[in-house]
Amino acid sequence: MKLISWNIDSINAAVEHSSARGEMTWETLQNIATMAPDVVAIQETKLRPTGLTKKQATAIEELFPEYHKFLSFSTARKGYAGTMMLTKEAPVSVTYPEIGAPGEMDQEGRIITLEFAEYFVSTVYTPNSGSDLARLTDRQAWDDAYRMYIQSLDEQKPVIFSGDFNVAHQEIDLKNPKTNHHSAGFTDEERVKFGELLDAGFTDIFRYQNPEAENIYTWWAQISKTSKINNSGWRIDYYLVSERIKDTVKSFEVIDTGARKDHAPIMIELEH
């Protein structure tokens, strides 16, 4: 069973592919489709509350024919956040949970959960604390609420969940930990909360399989001309699973996106 997760940073940019970066985004999406994954989880769709446009829907259908498609939109701000899941197998149920997060976070389309017979498969786009950490307090409240939500799923059956968690957990998970110590995504507060999520009974698959691996990242800053060239990245995209099924995951891969910066897709394969 193959699963792929990716922060696409705008479905529209991919479908229109009217810029060099948009073309690379579209090529990455096409590459994902050729891999024929069983489940695709996409974050930061940036769709309007009305959903996919006709052109977008047609493009997705042509790439992923016969997939079941589920979308969650931001109703708080147009063209912001949002998630989508595509799956070959019809789920038993689909939920778009509100977890009791502060402010408008629950209205930003950040979580989709699919229930299957043996497990839950969920995706999340975790709120960013902001460049000036203005949202850090709310982000900590989100982390607590999200952990409780995932634990509630885990009490029913194992959970496989992925997404852009907007945090590099350890110094080994970013190129420049010292200069970024108090930056959004690498504050002590965010790292502690991610550790609490793992301690609640979940496994970071990449780090479990590669405990000492360095220089493996999933995000490179767009504003830096050399971030990808120099591999000055962060590992902030994860596949996490309930501890009791961690050894059913056969492999983890960061999918190569060439010169394209921002997020790279990640993929796992499980025994099924």
- Residue 153 dihedral angles phi and psi, to the nearest 5°: -70, -45
β-bridge pairing 262-263 and 219-220: antiparallel
Mean pLDDT of 202-209: 98
Provide the pLDDT for residue 266. Answer: 99
pLDDT, tens digit, for every residue of 43-55? 999 999 999 999 9
Which segments of 163-259 does DSSP mark as H helices, in order? Answer: 188-199, 205-209
Q: Choose among 239, 236, 238: nearest CA to 219.
A: 236
Question: Is 269 in a helix, a strand, or coil?
Answer: strand
What band does 131 get if pLDDT is binned at 50, 70 and 90?
confident
Provide the pLDDT for residue 91. Answer: 98
Question: Is 260 in a helix, a strand, or coil?
Answer: coil
8: amino acid identity, one letter:
I
Residue 165 has pLDDT above 90, yes or no: yes
Task: Quote the CA–CA distance of 18 and 51 in Å, as a whole number.
Answer: 21
Where in the chain are the domains?
A: 2-270
Mean pLDDT of 202-215: 98
Mean pLDDT of the chain: 97
Provide the pLDDT for residue 94. Answer: 98
Q: Which residues are annotated as a binding site?
A: 7, 44, 164, 166, 262-263
18: amino acid identity, one letter:
S
In angstroms, the first-to-last Cα distance of the chain is 6
Which residues neighbour 254 within 8 Å (Cβ) at sequence distance 6 or greater?
216, 217, 218, 264, 265, 266
pLDDT, tens digit, for every residue of 36-94? 999 999 999 999 999 999 999 999 999 999 999 999 999 999 999 999 999 999 999 99
Residue 148 has pLDDT above 90, yes or no: yes
pLDDT, tens digit, for every residue of 3-21? 999 999 999 999 999 999 9
Provide the pLDDT for residue 270. Answer: 97
pLDDT, tens digit, for every residue of 229-266? 999 999 999 999 999 999 999 999 999 999 999 999 99
Residue 272 has pLDDT above 90, yes or no: no
2-270 architecture in CATH?
4-Layer Sandwich (3.60)
Beta strands (DSSP E) in the chain are 2-7, 39-43, 68-72, 83-87, 93-95, 111-115, 120-125, 159-164, 202-204, 219-220, 233-234, 237-242, 249-254, 262-263, 266-270
Active site residues: 125, 164, 263
Q: Which residues are annotated as a binding site for Mg(2+)?
A: 7, 44, 164, 166, 262-263
Residue 97 has pLDDT above 90, yes or no: yes
Residue 178 has pLDDT above 80, yes or no: yes
Task: Quote the CA–CA distance of 147 and 45 in Å, as a whole number.
Answer: 23
Task: Quote the CA–CA distance of 16 and 12 in Å, as a whole number.
Answer: 6
What's the predicted TM-score (pTM) here? 0.98
